[in-house]
Structure 1
């Protein structure tokens, strides 16, 4: 018996060491590009071109010249794309989350049948729309938007991003709604509550973590989206990914400017993730797990 316990303890220790090693390697792979990005935004031109330099004040002398330039000379060209990304990302994420909640609640609480398609088939059809590459439909959307006058507009991008993220929202929320016990809703229904009242006063408070996680994922996808913003906007509604990509083509590979702009572009998703971290972690773990 002591030998078996000792063997189990060794296996558990080895498993723990392997797990932490994998986590450390993964953390390094995630943090290293961000560290390189931040340090590059504080480097002089020669420090960027004369080989890898990693540690500030040891390998190179930091400078805030590029940050001052961004917030002074390039301020006007930065504020509009930044505001556009915030408006389009937040509104489309709210729209995707709201519509996804309504669709997921209907598919998990009511029974539908359209020909041979039942609830599970409808949900699969909705999710399957995300499988299609966006490049297939972007030029059709461009022609339609040109006819409707929606090119280079906030509304146009919001509609596209909402539709693009809706399958993801429906899939995530349907998964969590399917694991919520319906007994509380049935009790409210017996007391005379309407379905919408049950949804917004009973179900939504219980699903706040899941809704927060869904909103965050939709916001990140909309914030980082490049293809639709490239084709459907010109200058008035240009977003941050387009602004950063344009730096390379307009002025050449000025990595110090591009790095500073990229750091600014990373801040909103990171800030929202940190602020909603506890809801996000609870939201991605299914109920009862």
Structure 2
């Protein structure tokens, strides 16, 4: 390409980058499109060969069946469990992170010990927790799963918020203290507004972690607080699979995450770019 002007070569590279990016987007987005398409297809279209790339007419029967049979309430259960546990984890985790940063609680190594607890595989403690919950009578209850999800989310929240709080200048807090604020007011009026992007970014990931849980929901729920991740597995059978229900339930279980990420997208992008995993 020696005879090609520099600006032409630059434009060619840019076009190639866009083409590669578009190709990758199609690859990653197609499974999502196919999931939504199946949820609106008739059984004949689902099993047709060659494949029917889009439904001939939009069918809402697959969703109607889920609501009629009461299966859709499992999405509501997941929403309650993930939202409440995320709220508690963010409250307690932010307070703990502030204590680690400003008061050096537990010394320099406590934060590392806390995040190491998140590295423990959940299956290693699933059976002891089940026995403990049977003794407490917390199996198939909201309080049991909320406490468990909160406990497992706390190390992640503390570690992330610790990094965000460290980025806040100490002088701002000292000025607020001189003006008459106590520590709680400093946390509420200075620290939280300054770490707002990190706060929302951490909350989104914490919500998704709880939302996608399968192991604990499978072991600790029966009928009352069954989550959608467990409900989907009921549509897989030894003789046949109910693909229309699988697709429709998966779409219902995906929509809350899409809405959450889309709503908090600007905070999410800023929060990730703030270097929250420093230290």
Whether the TM-score (by the shorter chain) exceeds 0.5 is yes
What's the TM-score once normalised by structure 1's chain length?
0.86
Query: How far apart, in 1, do the equivalents of 2:52 and 2:187 lie?
Result: 53
1:23 to 15, 18, 21: 21
Deviation at 1:194, TM superposition (A): 1.6
Identify the residue that residue 97 of structure 2 maps to in structure 1: 104
Aligned to 2:181, the other structure's residue is in SS state: coil
Deviation at 1:256, TM superposition (A): 1.0
Kindly report the root-mean-square deviation, in angstroms, between the aligned alpha carbons of the 2 structures. Answer: 2.4
Pairs aligned (count): 273
Indicate conservation of the 8 Å contact 2:163/2:275, yes or no.
Answer: no
Question: Mean Cα displacement is larger for which, 231-240 or 171-180?
Answer: 171-180
Does residue 32 (structure 1) correspond to residue 30 (structure 2)? The answer is yes
Deviation at 1:104, TM superposition (A): 1.2
Does residue 245 (structure 1) correspond to residue 212 (structure 2)? The answer is no
Q: 1:182 to 1:29 in 2, by over 3 A?
A: farther
Unaligned stretches of 5+ in structure 2?
Answer: none
Question: Mean Cα displacement is larger for which, 152-161 or 16-25?
Answer: 16-25
Indicate conservation of the 8 Å contact 2:46/2:52, yes or no.
Answer: no
Does residue 261 (structure 1) correspond to residue 249 (structure 2)? The answer is yes
Runs of at least 4 residues off by over 6 Å: none
Q: 1:127 to 1:78 in 2, by over 3 A?
A: same
Query: How far apart, in 2, do the equivalents of 1:101 and 1:181 lie?
Result: 17
Indicate conservation of the 8 Å contact 1:36/1:54, yes or no.
Answer: no
Aligned to 1:210, the other structure's residue is in SS state: helix
Identify the residue that residue 276 of structure 1 maps to in structure 2: 264
Identify the residue that residue 273 of structure 2 maps to in structure 1: 285
2:71 to 77, 88, 93: 77
Unaligned stretches of 5+ in structure 1?
Answer: none
